[in-house]
C-alpha cells in the first residue's frame, strides 16, 4: 500500500462553534485513521471509480495543522481544548492495535492553532493574511464557514402555522426569521454581506500565495470551500443593492452571492487550466492550482438561532423535536449533530479531485427539479432556471431517516435575469479589495464605502 506524507494546513473560519467546530472535529477524527471514510469516493463522477489507481494511505506522521480563525480568542481556546479532548476520547475507544498506534502517531503531529479574525473589519482580515503568510509555508485548504445574520426575531405564530401546514418546507426554508436591513460595519459596508461574503473574498486574496505554494510543494491543487445554505436566494438588486443593505433577506442573498462568486472563480480557473486567458488573471491561480467548491451544512441546530431572541422556555428542545419529525417525514437535509453537518465539507476537503463531480463530468445533475423558492408562498411558485442551465454544483450534508450521514449534490441554476451576475460581482469585489489594500499601504484609513459603490 502506498503512503502519502502530504502535510495539510487547513484554515477554518468560525471554528470555535457551530458547524465550524463540527468541521474541525470531523477532520481530526477522520484523519486519525489511515483510511478516512470521508476520503473514499462517493459520487459517480463520470467514470468507473473501481478502475482508478488505489488511493494512497496517509503516513501516520503526516502533519495536520488546523488554523482556527476566530474573532473571540477565549472562546477559540475553549474550543481548541475540547477538540483535543474529543480526539483523545476517540483514540481511547479504538480496539485495533494498528488503528490505535496510527491514531497516537497522528495525535503527536496534530496542531490546532488559533489566529484572530474579525470578518466585519477588512483591516483585521488583511492583518490575518499578513500573520499567516509569515508563520506558515503553505495552506492546503480554506474552509469559509463563518457567517452571521441580522435577525431581529422569529414570527412565532407564522412559523407554527408553516410547521403544521408545510413541515418540511418550514424547516428547510424558514420564512419567518425576520431580518432587519441597513446594518453597516465600521468600514461602511453591509454587515451581513461583509461578514459572509466580502470578508472571505479578502481572506482568499490575502493568502493566495500560500495556496499556490501548496500546489507547487505537493503537485496537488489547493481547495477553497465556500459555505452556502439551502436558503441561498437571489433576493437582491444586483445593481442598486449588491452590498445587501436594502433587502430584508440579506442572509439568504449573501449565501447566493457566495455561490455566484465561487462559481465565477472556478469557471475562470478551468479556463486558465485549459490554456485560455481569463479576464482578471490575478484573482485565480494561473494553471488551475486552486479549486473552488460550494458546500452546505444542511439544517442543524447552531448558536445562530439565539439571534432570533425567542422568548419561549425550552424552545431549543421543541426545535430539535421538529427536526426529528421532519427527518422521519423524508427530509434528507436535517442533521442532528454538528459532526454530521460537516460531512460534505470534510468529504470535499479529503476526497481525490477525480472523484468530485462537476457540470462537465456529471451532466445528469440538472436544475430541472431544483429551484429557489420565492418569498411569497409555499404553494408551488418558484424562480426556476431553464432545464439544463446549470451554474455550478452545491455539495450538501445529508442523511437518511436513521441519521446515517453522507454528502449530497444538487445543481445551482443560472439566475435567468442576470446570467452574468458572478462576473459583475467579482469585478466589484476585486476593485473594492484593491481600494482597501491601497489604503493599507498608504497607512491611511479607508474612506467608508456607500452601498453599491467602490471608490
Does residue 390 lie within any of the structural domains? yes
Whether 107 and 89 have beta carbons less than 8 Å apart is answered as no
- CA-to-CA dists, residue 282 to 189, 420, 434, angstroms: 24, 19, 11
- Backbone CA torsion sign across 180, 185, 191, 195: negative
Supply the DSSP string of 348-378, one letter for each residue: HHHS-GGGS--TTT-TT--GGG--EE-SS-S
Does residue 45 lie within any of the structural domains? yes
Cα Dmax for the chain: 62
* Cell numbers linked to 290: 486552486
**Which residue range forms the structural domain that includes residue 190?**
3-442
Does residue 372 lie within any of the structural domains? yes
**Rounded Cα gap, residues 370 and 319, in angstroms:** 26
The owner of cell 427536526 is: 323
Domain count for the chain, please give it.
1
* Cell numbers linked to 345: 465539507
- pLDDT at res. 134: 97
Strands 405-413 and 390-399: antiparallel
Does residue 447 lie within any of the structural domains? no
- Backbone CA torsion sign across 196, 210, 86, 37: positive
* Cell numbers linked to 139: 495552506
- pLDDT at res. 356: 92
* Cell numbers linked to 62: 503526516
Tens digit of pLDDT at every position of the chain (455 positions)? 334 557 899 999 999 999 999 999 999 999 999 999 999 999 876 555 544 555 677 887 888 999 999 999 999 999 999 999 999 999 999 999 999 999 999 999 999 999 999 999 999 999 999 999 999 999 999 999 999 998 888 878 888 888 888 888 888 888 888 889 999 999 999 999 999 999 999 999 999 999 999 999 999 999 999 999 998 999 999 999 999 999 999 999 999 999 999 999 999 998 888 888 777 889 998 888 999 999 999 988 776 666 666 766 777 777 788 888 888 888 899 998 999 999 999 999 999 998 998 877 775 665 534 444 443 333 333 344 444 467 889 999 999 988 899 999 988 888 888 999 999 999 999 999 999 999 988 875 544 554 444 33
Does residue 115 lie within any of the structural domains? yes
Does residue 267 lie within any of the structural domains? yes
Q: Over the stretch 108-130, which tens digit does the pLDDT of each residue have? A: 999 999 999 999 999 999 999 99
What CATH number corresponds to the domain at position 369?
3.40.50.720
Q: 291, 296, 293: which is closest to 147 by C-alpha?
A: 296
Q: How far is CA 187 from the centre of its chain?
A: 24
- pLDDT at res. 376: 36
Does residue 451 lie within any of the structural domains? no
**pTM listed for this prediction:** 0.91
Judged on CB neighbours under 10 Å (0-12, 13-18, 19+), 306 is exposed
Does residue 35 lie within any of the structural domains? yes
Q: Which residues pair with 407 in a beta bridge?
A: 397
Q: Over the stretch 320-347, which tens digit does the pLDDT of each residue have? A: 888 888 888 888 999 989 999 999 999 9
Amino acid at each position: 500500500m502506498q503512503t502519502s506524507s502530504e502535510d495539510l494546513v487547513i484554515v477554518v473560519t468560525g471554528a470555535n462553534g457551530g458547524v465550524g467546530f463540527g468541521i474541525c472535529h470531523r477532520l481530526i477524527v477522520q484523519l486519525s485513521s489511515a483510511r478516512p471514510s470521508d476520503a473514499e469516493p462517493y459520487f459517480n463522477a463520470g467514470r468507473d471509480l473501481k478502475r482508478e489507481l488505489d488511493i494512497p494511505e496517509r503516513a501516520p506522521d503526516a502533519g495536520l495543522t488546523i488554523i482556527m480563525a476566530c474573532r473571540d480568542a477565549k472562546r477559540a481556546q475553549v474550543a481548541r481544548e475540547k477538540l483535543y479532548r474529543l480526539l483523545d476520547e476517540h483514540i481511547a475507544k479504538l480496539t485495533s492495535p494498528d488503528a490505535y498506534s496510527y491514531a497516537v502517531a497522528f495525535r503527536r503531529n496534530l496542531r490546532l492553532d488559533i489566529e484572530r479574525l474579525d470578518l466585519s473589519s477588512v483591516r483585521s482580515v488583511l492583518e490575518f493574511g499578513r500573520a499567516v503568510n509569515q508563520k506558515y509555508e503553505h495552506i492546503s485548504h480554506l474552509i469559509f464557514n463563518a457567517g452571521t445574520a441580522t435577525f431581529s426575531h422569529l414570527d412565532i405564530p407564522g412559523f407554527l402555522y408553516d410547521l403544521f401546514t408545510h413541515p418540511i418546507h418550514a424547516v428547510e426554508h424558514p420564512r419567518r426569521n425576520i431580518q432587519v436591513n441597513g446594518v453597516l460595519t465600521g468600514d461602511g459596508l453591509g454587515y451581513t454581506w461583509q461578514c459572509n461574503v466580502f470578508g472571505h473574498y479578502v481572506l482568499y486574496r490575502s493568502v493566495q500565495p500560500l495556496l499556490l505554494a501548496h500546489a507547487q510543494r505537493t503537485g496537488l491543487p489547493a481547495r477553497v470551500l465556500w459555505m452556502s445554505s439551502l436558503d441561498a436566494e437571489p433576493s437582491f438588486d444586483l445593481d442598486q443593492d449588491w452590498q445587501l443593505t436594502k433587502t430584508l433577506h440579506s442572509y439568504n442573498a449573501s449565501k447566493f452571492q457566495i455561490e455566484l462568486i465561487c462559481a465565477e472563480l472556478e469557471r475562470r480557473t478551468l479556463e486558465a487550466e485549459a490554456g485560455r486567458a481569463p479576464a482578471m488573471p490575478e484573482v485565480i491561480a494561473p494553471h488551475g492550482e486552486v479549486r473552488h467548491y460550494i458546500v452546505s451544512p444542511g439544517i442543524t441546530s447552531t448558536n445562530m438561532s439565539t439571534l432570533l431572541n425567542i422568548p419561549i422556555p425550552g424552545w431549543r428542545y421543541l426545535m430539535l423535536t421538529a427536526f426529528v419529525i421532519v427527518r422521519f417525514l423524508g427530509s434528507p437535509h436535517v442533521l442532528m449533530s454538528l459532526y454530521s453537518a460537516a460531512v460534505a465539507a470534510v468529504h470535499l476537503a479529503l476526497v481525490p479531485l477525480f472523484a468530485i463531480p462537476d457540470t462537465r463530468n456529471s451532466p445528469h445533475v440538472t436544475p430541472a427539479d431544483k429551484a429557489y423558492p420565492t418569498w411569497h408562498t409555499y404553494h408551488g411558485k418558484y424562480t426556476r432556471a431553464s432545464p439544463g442551465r446549470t451554474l455550478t454544483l452545491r455539495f450538501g450534508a445529508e442523511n437518511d431517516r436513521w441519521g446515517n450521514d453522507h454528502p449530497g449534490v444538487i445543481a445551482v441554476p443560472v439566475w435567468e435575469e442576470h446570467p452574468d451576475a458572478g462576473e459583475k460581482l467579482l469585478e466589484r469585489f476585486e476593485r473594492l479589495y484593491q481600494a482597501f489594500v491601497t489604503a493599507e499601504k498608504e497607512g491611511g484609513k479607508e474612506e467608508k464605502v456607500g452601498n453599491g459603490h467602490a471608490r
